[in-house]
Amino acid sequence: MASNPYFSLAVLFVGALGFGLAPLALAWVWAKVFSPSKPNALKNAVYECGLESKGDAWVQYRSGYYLYAIIFLIFDVEAVFLLPFAVAFTGLGLAASLSMLVFVLLLVEGLAWAWAKGVLTWA
Amino acid sequence: MAVDEGLKIELGKQGVFVTTLQELYNWGRRSSVWPMNFGLACCAIEMIATTMARYDLARFGAEVFRPSPRQADLMIISGTVTKKMAPQVVRLYNQMGEPRYVIAMGACAISGGPFKQGYNVLKGIDRYIPVDVHIPGCPPRPEALLEAFMTLQKKIDAQHLTGEERPRHLDAEAPGMFPVPEQGEHDLEPPANKNVWTVPVVIR
């Protein structure tokens, strides 16, 4: 067996395995045998915090909030494009102005739709 | 079993290092005390300064502030403990793993300090949990916290692994749970943990 050319590799492999596993085993033995364990109800609680956990972790949010997110996005994107538009306004040609108008109108249409649906009324 | 100090030094000169299991154990404990990431009031600012480059708490192996009580060994009560906060402090202390140590930092944590007359201030956290080191000051300077830390290290160094004088965490009989006070009608209930703190008798 020792004459096998891969024998030294096998020895190194076992050594490497031991190098990794020995500290883990030592830590396990230390925790099981020597560590001063004093469990109590608070220490064994699921979540460590100064306050007691209340309610369920599976909190549900109103699906209606996604509308607010979308409307925010409309205004957000609009602002990003309006600023350079306003800066370059005097130097713009007809085509650029028209395409910007279409863009703004599309967003306005979205806003009008949301308004008509009553999304803007905070309830 | 203790090794004769002179013999130890003599052996050290010859390149032989002698120690006991107890010394090794305590050396490991005191050199890796991880404080809890927990500040209550202005003393916490001094505590933060202590961890920074100028004072450098890392020299003592205590730079790893853990945000979870489960990974912390040391609770630094840094500031005023109000009666509203006291249950949370005791609860967090209960959630720390053994061995655990407490430094009461500043006048407020010791006795209520300048707010002692306040209706809402706890007159010292040692009413509910055992405190290892008290530091006076308002707030104590970072040097004072370092001094307290070194005092704690000396205390850990002197602990016995066995025998009557072994510390609380090695005593299976010693309590591991310290009751969390609750908000009563006028005060915290109970106003103090009788096993930790007794009402001082005023002799007139």
Q: Which domain holds residue A102?
A: 65-117
What is the ipTM for the molecules in this complex? 0.75
Pairing verdict, β B182-183 and B188-189: antiparallel
Is A3 contained in some domain? no
Q: What percent of chain B has pLDDT over 70?
A: 99
Residue A24 confidence (pLDDT): 96
What is the mean pLDDT of the segment spanning B118-123? 91
- pLDDT > 80? residue B3: no
Chain B residues touching A41 at Cβ < 8 A: 177
B67-99 pLDDT per residue, tens: 999 999 999 999 999 999 999 999 999 999 888
Span A18-41, average pLDDT = 90
CA proximity to B109, closest of B88, B87, B131: B131
* B151: contact with A, CB 8 A cutoff: no
> In the prediction, which pLDDT does A14 show?
96
- pLDDT for A123 equals 60
Closest CA to A119 of A75, A60, A64, A62: A64
The CATH class that applies to domain B34-169 reads alpha beta
- A residues 37-66 lying closer than 8 A (beta carbon) to B: 37-43, 45, 48-52
pLDDT per position as a tens digit, A40-73: 888 888 888 888 888 888 888 887 788 888 888 8
Q: Compute the nearest-CA separation of B196 from chain A (Å).
A: 17
| Nearest-CB residue to B70 (from A36, A48, A52) | A48
Domain count, chain A: 1
Query: Domains of chain B: which residue ranges?
Result: 34-169
Q: Rounded mean pLDDT of A6-17?
A: 94
The CA distance from B119 to B186, in Å, is 9
Rounded CA-CA distance A27/A30 in Å is: 5
Q: Is residue A88 part of a domain?
A: yes
Average pLDDT, chain B: 90
Distance, CA of B170 to chain centre: 17
The C-alpha atoms of residue A67 and residue A72 are separated, in whole angstroms, by: 8
DSSP state of A31: I
Tokens 């100064």 sit at which residue? A50
Q: Give yes or no for B141 touching A (CB within 8 A).
A: no
Average pLDDT over residues A103-114: 88
- Per-residue pLDDT at B31: 93
pLDDT at A31 over 90: no
> Region B125-137: what's the mean pLDDT?
93
**Does pLDDT of A17 surpass 60?**
yes
pLDDT, position A30: 86
Quote the pLDDT of residue A10. Answer: 93
Residue type, A32: K
Q: Is B28 on the interface with A (CB under 8 A)?
A: no
A11 in a domain, yes or no?
no
Q: What percent of chain B has pLDDT over 90?
A: 59
Residue B48 has pLDDT above 60, yes or no: yes
Cis peptide leading into B190, omega within 30 of 0?
Answer: yes
Which one-letter DSSP state was computed for residue B6? H
Collect all residues with Cβ–Cβ distance below 8 Å to B77 and sequence separation of at least 6.
Answer: B40, B89, B102, B103, B104, B105, B109, B125, B131
Query: Of all residues in chain A, what percent are helix, strand and coil, respectively (each to 5)?
Result: 65, 0, 35
* Tokens, residue B138: 């308002």
Mean per-residue pLDDT of chain A? 87
Q: What are the E-state strand segments in chain B?
A: 74-78, 101-105, 133-135, 182-183, 188-189
Residue B1: the pLDDT is 55
Q: If pLDDT is split at 50, 70 and 90, which confidence band does B2 have?
A: low
The helix/strand/coil state of B154 is: helix
For residue A95, pLDDT over 70 is answered with yes
CA B38 to chain CA centroid, Å, is: 13
Residue B94: which of A40, A51, A52 has the nearest Cβ?
A40
Query: What average pLDDT score do residues A94-112 get?
Result: 90
